[in-house]
Amino acid sequence: MQLLRIELYKIFKRPRTYISFGIITAITFVIQLAMLSDGKSFIGFALQGINEQFDIHGNILNGYLVAYIILQSLLIHIPLLVALVAGDMLAGEANIGTLRLLLTRPVRRSQLVLAKFYASFIYTVLLIIWLAFIALFLSLLLFGKGDMINLKSDAFVMLLQSDILWRYAMAFVFAVLAMTTIASMSLLLSAFADNSIGPIISTMGIVVVLTILSNLELPLFNLIKPYLFTTHIIGWKGFFDDPVPYSAILRSSAILVLYTIAFITTTIIYFNKKDIRS
Amino acid sequence: MRKYLLLLLLFTCCAFNSAHAADASALFQSLRSKVLSVQDYTADVKMNINVSYMRIPQLNGTLYYKAPDKMRLERHGGLSILPKKNINLTLSNLIPGGNVTVIDMGNALIGAKTVRVLKVIPDDEKSDIILTKIWVDETDLVALRTETTTRNDGTVTMDLEYGRYTNSCLPDKVTIFMNLKDYKLPKGVTMDYNDQPQPPKSTDKKNQKGTIKITYLKYSINTGLTDKFFAAPEKQ
């Protein structure tokens, strides 16, 4: 507990930590501004296939839809923001030479790794809560409430406004799980490095490459897709389908938990054997 | 003698056919007058849209109609979805107006009820409706089914069930069957979550059938709705 408190203190003392919150706020504001000024044409473009056959009236561009668009846009960015802190946890200490000093204290290495992981987890939870607040509640304030439209590649899903808030709550919980997997991977990469730039860039590189593989419609990649964590980190979208594919979401959650456990275990095993020179 | 008998038979047949056509035409005109007697209505409705690519819950709302073709669904802050304006949901819009040619197609059965089938062809070549088949219940003078072939929107079939508002020719339940085009967006744009179970797909990808079921709970007829009401701007 004491270790965790120290790790949290270190995280929230650094100005870098608050950059993530600032970036989320900035991206959200930009998207909200774009939707306020030109949202109608965006919606018109997205709905052109449906509008040929149906007339849809009402507040389509409401807070729920804008929040969904923001979450979709931030899919690639949030792992970077998580890596900014998690990737620095071990490598940052090695870089400034405090890791060796830290390990001279009567603390097991595995305890230290777990404390750093829990601290990263708490940071991730706070980041997602901030995202929920700024993306959902601010959008609802700016654009109002309404039924939500979710456009999939082969389906048009409409959700009644009384049936949406719980979906967002579950989606944010799932997002915490997905980003925790990213944090644990970043922590593993951080254990391998002696400066924090490497783990942060490596995390982003892995996420970008695997996301591309997850989205390419090629038979070769279809074989490996179910095993990539990037295929599953978008599982939050399942909560906006009707009916909700609970079994698929549970499978995705289980895969993400397994990845997280594997990353943390590998980190502990590697870090226990690591020759700390700085 | 035989010649006279043949001529008499031919004359009788022609007279019978002509009387039958006149009868069918009169039946159609009576039905149209009854349908057009409703100038406007407001109705509480429940709407179920069943289209393969659309997942929409039951929509409850208020449907406003003004003759000949104005319609608006209001859902108290929610979204309203209606088929394109030229495939209107009302009987009056699916029955051709102006001069028409009515052909009697004889009798048919809808459920246990014997109905008269009329084929109606508008004389106006520019009319959006090319042909309408109407299954008429002569006892109550209501249409139980219509099959309308339009110039731009294919064929629309409508089944109607009557109850409390039979006298005004307003149905309690309407089921509309329509042909719809396929819907597709690139996966790169939508970034779908791939692990979702895929619903069974229609074999005919370009044209799919869709049904819209409307249950009318309560009507307020001829309340004097204005055109302005239908032109009210709505937020999108």
Spans of all domains in chain B:
16-224
**E strand spans, chain B:** 40-51, 54-55, 59-66, 70-74, 80-83, 100-110, 113-122, 129-137, 142-150, 155-161, 173-181, 207-221
Domain count, chain A: 1
Q: Which of A274, A230, A238, A278 is nearest to A256 (CA)?
A: A230
Chain A residues within an 8 Å CB radius of B55: 155-158, 241-242
pLDDT (tens place) for every residue of chain B, 236 residues total: 566 655 555 555 454 454 455 588 888 888 888 888 888 899 999 999 888 888 888 988 898 888 877 888 888 778 888 877 544 556 666 676 678 889 999 999 988 889 999 999 888 887 778 888 999 999 999 999 989 888 877 788 889 999 999 988 889 999 988 877 777 776 666 667 765 445 445 455 455 678 889 999 989 988 888 887 777 555 44
Q: Which of A246, A251, A245, A247 is nearest to A231 (CA)?
A: A251
Calpha distance B18→A204 (Å, rounded): 83
Domain ranges, residue A222:
2-273
Q: Using DSSP, state whether A216 is helix, strand or coil.
A: coil
CB within 8 Å: B57 and A153: no
- Within a domain: residue A218? yes
- Within a domain: residue A183? yes
Calpha distance B150→A278 (Å, rounded): 81
B83 touching A (Cβ < 8 Å): yes
Q: For A89, phi and psi rounded to 5 degrees?
A: -60, -50
What pLDDT is stored for residue B16 in this prediction?
47
What pLDDT is stored for residue A269 in this prediction?
95
Q: Is A192 exposed, middle or buried (0-12, 13-18, 19+ CB in 10 A)?
A: middle
Calpha distance B128→B219 (Å, rounded): 28
Q: A201 is written with which tokens?
A: 């860039």
Calpha distance B225→B115 (Å, rounded): 34
Q: A120 is written with which tokens?
A: 């990263």
- Within a domain: residue A278? no
Q: Of chain A residues 14-73, which have a CB less than 8 A from chain B?
A: 40, 43, 46, 49-50, 52-61, 72
CB within 8 Å: A160 and B191: no
pLDDT in tens, A162-221: 999 999 999 999 999 999 999 999 999 999 988 889 999 999 999 999 988 887 777 878
Q: Which residue has the higher pLDDT, A54 or B205?
A: A54
Residues in chain B, overall count: 236
CATH number of B16-224: 2.50.20
CA torsion B181-B182-B183-B188 (nearest 10°) is: -140
Q: ∠ CA A207-A240-B191 to the nearest 5 degrees?
A: 35
- Within a domain: residue A160? yes
CB within 8 Å: A49 and B183: yes
pLDDT band of A58, cuts 50, 70, 90: confident
- Within a domain: residue A180? yes
Cis status, amide bond into B83, omega within 30 of 0:
no
